[in-house]
Structure formats: C-alpha cells, structure tokens
Amino acid sequence: MARTGSRAERVAERRQQILDAARTIAEADGWAAVTSRRLADAIGYTQPVLYGHFPGGKTEIMRTVALAGFTELAAATRVAMRGGTGPQAVAAVAEVYLDFAATHPSLYEAMFQLPIDARFAQDDAESELRAGFDALGAALGTDDGTVTEVFWSALHGMSQLERVGRMRREHRPLRIAELAARFAT
C-alpha cells in the first residue's frame, strides 16, 4: 500500500507542477503562450506525460487553474469580510475582488472569460464555483442569488474597465463606496 501512496503523491505533485507552470506562463505571456511543448519544457517532462495527467489538454488545465482561482478568491473574500455583513463587508469584498483581478489578470481571465464550461451561479456548479459565488453573496445578506449576480457583474465590469484604463484609478474608493451603499442590506 505504501507504494500506491507514493505513486499517488508523485502523480499529484506532477499534476501540480503542470498547473503551476501553466499559471506562471499565462501570467507572464498570456494563455496563448501556454502550449503543451512549453509546459513540457518548463517541467522537464514529455508532452504525452502532460496529456496523461490532463487528457483534455489545455482546456482542462485552464479549467483546473480557474477552479483553484475560485477557491483562492473565496478564501480572500471571507477573510476580508471578517464574518460581517453590511456596507463595510460589501466594500471589503469589492476591494478584494478588484485587487485579485488586477493582481492575477491571467488567472482572472481563466476564471471568468475563457471557455472552461463553468456555470458560476448554478445550483449544480462545482463546489469551487459555488463557494466563489456564495462568498460574494455572503456580504450581501440573504437573497435568491439575483442580487449576488448583479453585484458580481458590477465588480466584473469594474475590473475590466480598470484593467484597460477606462476608469480613473483614484476614483476606485468612491466606486466601492457607491457599491456598498447600493448593495448592503
């Protein structure tokens, strides 16, 4: 049995190396630069090894990276809220979300823009996606998900407009305060 455990550990470690390399390459040069050849070179394995771990290729790798990103964003959101609700919690969530999008643009792109077959706000969504959605909604209080969807879309729009320089950076605190005033219960 110990042999199986160490093989499983090696497989998990190799899989994580592939994901880490993909994320590093994407953050440096964009997702178009994440190719099986470049990944294989980055981790020192052959391309067939990559497909052995990710039979779905690049799409499966992007999806797995995106799911990990939802977990990271949900955790950061919960920490920022400090268990509260209301305007301060909404503002904290907005700030963390926008900072996350700005700090990890390629990860954010995988999470919200690339075709990874993700159903973010659906009841049958993967646990990572559901946790991300629930973390955004937690600051808002209870709703049927519609208010959370509107809040999320506002944050997403702001993040995209900030990214391309179409919103004044110095006005971010004012935009966040406006969101908090409108979305806090």
CATH of the domain at 75: 1.10.357.10
Q: Are residues 123 and 184 in the same domain?
A: yes
Given the structure tokens 């919960």, which residue do they identify?
78
Residues 50 and 116 in one domain: no
Residue 143 has pLDDT above 80, yes or no: no
Mean pLDDT of 150-177: 94
10 Å CB burial of residue 2 (0-12, 13-18, 19+) is: exposed
Q: Count CB atoms within 10 A of the CB of residue 50.
A: 24
Instruction: Report residue 59 as tokens.
Output: 């799409």
If asked whether residues 42 and 78 sit together in one domain, one would say: no
- 48 and 110, same domain (yes or no): no
**Where is mean pLDDT largest: 67-81, 122-136, 139-153?**
67-81
Percent of the chain with pLDDT over 70: 95
Would you say residue 21 has pLDDT above 50? yes
- Dig out the tokens for 3 from the structure: 């042999």
Q: What is the pLDDT of residues 62-121, one digit of tens each?
A: 999 999 999 999 999 999 998 888 899 999 999 999 999 999 999 999 998 888 887 766
Whether the pLDDT of residue 131 is over 60: the answer is yes
Sign of the CA dihedral 162, 168, 171, 177? negative
What 3 state SS string does 134-179 have? Answer: HHHHHCCCCCCCHHHHHHHHHHHHHHHHHHCCCCCHHHHHHHHHHH
- In this structure, the answer to whether residues 21 and 86 fall within a common structural domain is no
The H or E element spanning position 82 is none
Query: Structure pTM?
Result: 0.88
The more confidently predicted of residues 118 and 138 is 138
The range of the structural domain enclosing residue 104 comes to: 59-185
Residues 130, 99: Cα–Cα separation, whole Å: 21
Decide if pLDDT at 147 tops 60.
yes
Give the pLDDT confidence score for residue 4 in this predicted structure.
54
